[in-house]
Amino acid sequence: MSTVLISDPTLRDGNHAVRHQLNARQIALYAAAADAAGVPIVEVGHGNGLGASSLQVGESLIGDREMLEVARENLVNSKLSIHVIPGFATINKDLKTAIEIGVDLVRVASHCTEADITQRHIGYARDKGKEVYGVLMMSHMASKELLAEESLKMESYGAEAVVIMDSAGAYLPSDVTERIAELVKSLTIPVGFHGHNNLGMAVANSVAAVQAGATILDGTARGFGAGSGNTQLEVLVAVLERMGFSTGIDLYKMLDAADIAEKELMPVIPSIKSLSVVSGLSGVFSGFAKHVERISKEYKVNAKDVFFELGRRKVVAGQEDLIIEVAMKLAAEGAVKS
Amino acid sequence: MSTVLISDPTLRDGNHAVRHQLNARQIALYAAAADAAGVPIVEVGHGNGLGASSLQVGESLIGDREMLEVARENLVNSKLSIHVIPGFATINKDLKTAIEIGVDLVRVASHCTEADITQRHIGYARDKGKEVYGVLMMSHMASKELLAEESLKMESYGAEAVVIMDSAGAYLPSDVTERIAELVKSLTIPVGFHGHNNLGMAVANSVAAVQAGATILDGTARGFGAGSGNTQLEVLVAVLERMGFSTGIDLYKMLDAADIAEKELMPVIPSIKSLSVVSGLSGVFSGFAKHVERISKEYKVNAKDVFFELGRRKVVAGQEDLIIEVAMKLAAEGAVKS
C-alpha cells in the first residue's frame, strides 16, 4: 500500500481566512487535536508565513514566537513546520528564532519562477540540521518544463522535497497530472502538491497528484484557508483511505479535529463564492480575495471585474497594492462612463 | 464543441436543505435569475419531489400547485421540470395537476433497482405529450450491469433519457466513469449524472461523467441541496467552459444567480461536515443528514455511529423511520455499557 505524507497548514493558511487573527488558545486546541489524530506535519504562522506580519498584508494577532511556542508545546508526535518566504522572513532574525524555538521542518517558498531567492534560506536551515522543503507558489503560471527547472534549483540548494502550490485554485486534474509527472521524472527528491478549491477540484487535483507520483499532500481541516479554502483534509484522508493509500491518520479522530477547527477557529466554513470562481479562472492568488472585497466596496466597483483585471495583469502574492490601483482605475472609468 | 445539457434542481434539491420551507417569493426570484442566465431546465418542488410533502419526510411550506405555478410564471426560456417518485406522486392527482399547470419535463425516479415502478408514470406523461426522463437514485448501490438493465427498462417504458444519481455522494470519478460508459454503450437515449459532494468530488465526478459520454448534468447554485450539497452549478459551468464544453449558460449571469440563491434562499452555504464524510463513505442518502442530526441529539447518541449503522443496513430513501430505530438501539446499547 502506497503511503502519502500529509502536511496540514490549517494554522497557517487558515490565518488568511481570519486576517491573521488566530490566537494562542485556538492554535493550542487545533495543534493538540491534529497531533492526536496522527497528522504527521502541522504548519503554523501568519498566512504569508514567517516574518510576514505587516500593515500591508495584515498584522497577525500574536507574533511568530508566540504562535510557534504554543504549537510546539501542543505537538507530541507531529512535526512543527513553518512557511518561509525570503523577503518576508529574514535569516538572522526570523529563521534563527524559529529554529531556536524548535521547528522541525522549514518550507522555503518563492513565486514559481523565482527559486533563486530560496537558496540562502534553504542552505541556512539545512546547516542548522533542519529538514527543508522547497515550495513553488502560483505554480499554474509556469509551464511544466519551467517548474522542473526551478525545482531542480531547489534540489541543488539542498531541498529534500519540492511542493508545488495551486495558490489560485486554477488547476483542473489534467493540469496537475502533467506538472507532477514532469517533476517526478526530473527530480530525485519527493514531490508534493498543495491545492485550493476555487474550481471545486482541490480533492480531485490532490488525488491526481498522487496518481502521478506525488508523495506529499497538503490539506486543512474543513478546508480552512485563503479564498475558497484549501484541500479539505478530513475528506482527503477518507478518499485516500478508500483508494488504498495509507496516511497514518486516524480518520475518526481527524473528523473530530475538523469539528474542533470548525467550532473554535472558523467564523465561517470556506465555500466557493462567485468571486472564488472568478479568482480561479483568472489565476489570481486566493489570499487576495478578502482585500479585493474590501477595496471594491470602498471604491464602489464590482469585485468580479477587479479580479478579472488582476488576472490580466498576472499579479502575484506581495503585489496587494495593485488591488487599489486597479479599483481606482475601474472607478475612474465608471465615473467617466456615467 | 460538445454540448452538455444542464438541469438545475436548486428549487427542488435545495428544499432538502431548508426542510422544504422554500416560499413563493424565493422560488420566483431564483427561477427568474436562472432563466436570465440561460439555464435550460429548472426543477422545482418538495425535496423528495411531487406529492412527497408529509409528516414523515417533512411538510413543504407551500403546496406543489403553488410552487409550480410561481415557477411557471417566472420561466420564459427555461423548461420547468419535476422530480416524480411513484409512491409519493400519484398519477391521477399529482401528475395530472402538474401537467395541467404546464410542466415541460417529467423526471420519473426510483431506487436504482426498482425501475419497474416507473412504468405507468412514464407512460402517462408521454401520453400527455410531455418530455420524460427516467432517474435511478442511490445508483452506487447497483453494479454497472444492473444499472444498465434498469435503465433499459426505463427506455422501453418511453423514457427519453436516463439520469443516474449519486444520492449519497459516494462515488469517486472512476466509479462514475465505469457506470456512465456502460449506460452509454447499452442505451440509445442520452445519459445524465446528478452528483453530491460528500467526498468533495461532485464537480470532478460530473466532468468524469461527460468524459465518459454523458450529455446531461445536474447542478445547483452554490451546491444548495441535501447534506453536503449538490454539484455546484456555477463552478461546473466555469469548469466545463474551460474544458471546451458548451452549456449555453452565461457564466457571469449564472454567478449572479448563485449570489441571489445564497442571499435569498440559503440560511447557510452547504459544506462538507464530518457527518457528510461519514454519510458518503457509508453510502447513505444525503437527505437523511438533517434527520440523523436531530434524532441523534434527541437520543443522545453519536450521529457518526448512527450513519455507519444505517450504511450497514443499506437503507434507502423512504426508510427515514429506521433512523429512530437505529438511534434507540445505540442508546440502549450505550445505556447497557455505562
What's the pLDDT tens digit per position in A194-253? 999 999 999 999 999 999 999 999 999 999 998 899 999 999 999 999 999 999 999 999
- Note whether A222 contacts B: Cβ–Cβ < 8 A: yes
**Residues ≥6 apart with Cβ < 8 Å to A178:** A144, A212
Q: What is the pLDDT of residue A336?
A: 57
Least confident of A132-146, A172-186, A245-259, B312-326: B312-326
| Helix/strand/coil for B265 | coil
The torsion region of residue B248 among left (phi > 0), alpha (psi -120 to 50) and beta comes to left
pLDDT one-digit tens code per residue, B45-85: 999 999 999 988 899 999 999 999 999 999 999 999 999 99
CA dist list (Å): B214 to A30, A199, A306, B203, B211: 43, 21, 36, 14, 7
Which chain B residues are closer than 8 Å to A280 by Cβ? 238
Instruction: Output the DSSP codes for B171-240.
Output: --HHHHHHHHHHHHHH-SS-EEEE-B-TTS-HHHHHHHHHHTT--EEE-BGGG-SSTT-B-BHHHHHHHH
Q: Calculate how close chain A gets to B230, using CA atoms only, in Å.
A: 12
A272 to chain B, any CB pair closer than 8 A? The answer is yes
Longest dimension (CA), chain A: 64
> Residues 6 or more apart from B237 whose CB is under 8 A from it?
B6, B219, B247, B249, B251, B254
Closest partner residue to B255 (CB to CB) among A234, A235, A304 is A304
For residues A247 and B200, what is the distance between their CA atoms, to the nearest angstrom? 18
C-alpha angle with apex A279: A274 to A283, nearest 5 degrees? 155
When computed from its CA atoms, the radius of gyration of chain A, rounded to whole angstroms, is 19
Strand spans (E) along chain A: 5-9, 41-44, 79-84, 105-111, 131-137, 162-165, 191-194, 216-218
Q: What is the pLDDT of residues A159-182, one digit of tens each?
A: 999 999 999 999 999 999 999 999
pLDDT at position A195 is 98
Bridge partners, residue A162, by sequence:
A134, A191
Within 10 A of B314 (CB to CB), how many other CB atoms are there? 12
Contact B67, B60 (CB under 8 A): yes
User: Is a pLDDT exceeding 60 seen at residue B17?
Assistant: yes
A204·B280 Cβ contact <8 A: no
Q: What is the mean pLDDT of chain A?
A: 95
Average pLDDT on B267-291 reads 88
Q: Virtual CA dihedral for A258, A261, A263, A267, nearest 10 degrees?
A: -130
Please provide the average confidence, as pLDDT, over all residues in chain B: 95
Side-chain half-sphere CA neighbours of B314 within 13 A? 7
Interacting residues of A19 by C-beta distance below 8 A, sequence separation 6+: A58, A290
Q: Does B256 touch chain A (CB under 8 A)?
A: yes
Q: What is the mean pLDDT of residues A61-84?
A: 98
Helices and strands in chain A, H and E counts: 14, 8
For residues B291 and A77, the model is more confident at A77
pLDDT tens, position by position, B165-217: 999 999 999 999 999 999 999 999 999 999 999 999 999 999 999 999 999 99
The distance of B234 to chain A (nearest Cα, Å) reads 8
Mean pLDDT of A112-128: 98
Does A179 belong to an annotated binding site? no
* A294 touches B: beta carbon within 8 Å: no
* pLDDT given for residue B338 in this prediction: 44
- DSSP type of residue A87: T
Query: Is A167 known as a binding-site position?
Result: yes
Instruction: Check the annotation: does B242 bind a ligand.
Output: no
Domains and their CATH numbers in chain A: 5-265 (3.20.20.70), 274-337 (1.10.8.60)
Which residue from A202, A223, A274 is facing B234, i.e. has the nearest CB? A274
pLDDT at B1: 66
Query: B272 contacts in A (CB within 8 Å)?
Result: 222-223, 232, 235
Query: Which residues of chain B are within 8 Å of residue A222 when distances are taken between CB atoms?
Result: 271-272
Q: Specify the residue for cell string 507558489.
A: A137
Quick check: A281 contacting B, CB < 8 Å?
yes
Q: Give the β-pairing of A131-137 and B5-9.
A: unpaired
Contact A238/B280, CB-based, under 8 Å? yes
Using CA atoms, how far residue B251 sits from B194, B256, B264, B323, in Å, is 20, 9, 20, 40
- The shortest CB-CB distance from A172 to any of B236, B239, B273 is to B239
Using the Cβ of A201 and the Cβ atoms of chain B, whether some distance falls under 8 Å is answered with yes
B204 contacts A238? CB cut-off 8 A: no
User: Please, which pLDDT band fits residue B285 given cuts at 50, 70 and 90?
Assistant: confident
Q: What angle do helix axes A303-312 and A289-299 make, rounded to 10 degrees?
A: 120
Q: Is the CB of B214 inside 8 Å of chain A's CB atoms? A: no
Nearest to A272 among B199, B232, B252 (CB): B232
Of residues B321 and B156, more confidently modeled: B156
The pLDDT, as a whole number, for residue A255 is 96
Contact B281 A238 (CB under 8 A): yes
CB B285 within 8 A of CB B167: yes
Average pLDDT value for residue range B288-302: 89
Chains A, B: CB contacts within 8 A come to 89
In chain B, the residue whose alpha carbon lies closest to the alpha carbon of A223 is B272
Q: What is the DSSP letter of A86?
A: B
Residue type, B152: L
Q: Are strands B105-111 and B79-84 parallel, antiparallel or unpaired?
A: parallel
Query: What are the b/e assignments for B28-54, b being 16+ CB within 10 Å?
Result: ebbbbbbbbbbbbbbbbbbbbbbbbbe
Q: pLDDT of B136-164, one tens digit each?
A: 999 999 999 999 999 999 999 999 999 99
Check if the beta carbon of residue B136 is closer than 8 Å to that of residue B143: no
Nearest CA in chain A to B201: A204
Find, among A317, A262, A258, the residue nearest to A291 by Cα. A317
Lowest mean pLDDT segment, chosen from A161-165, B75-79, B129-133, B317-321: B317-321
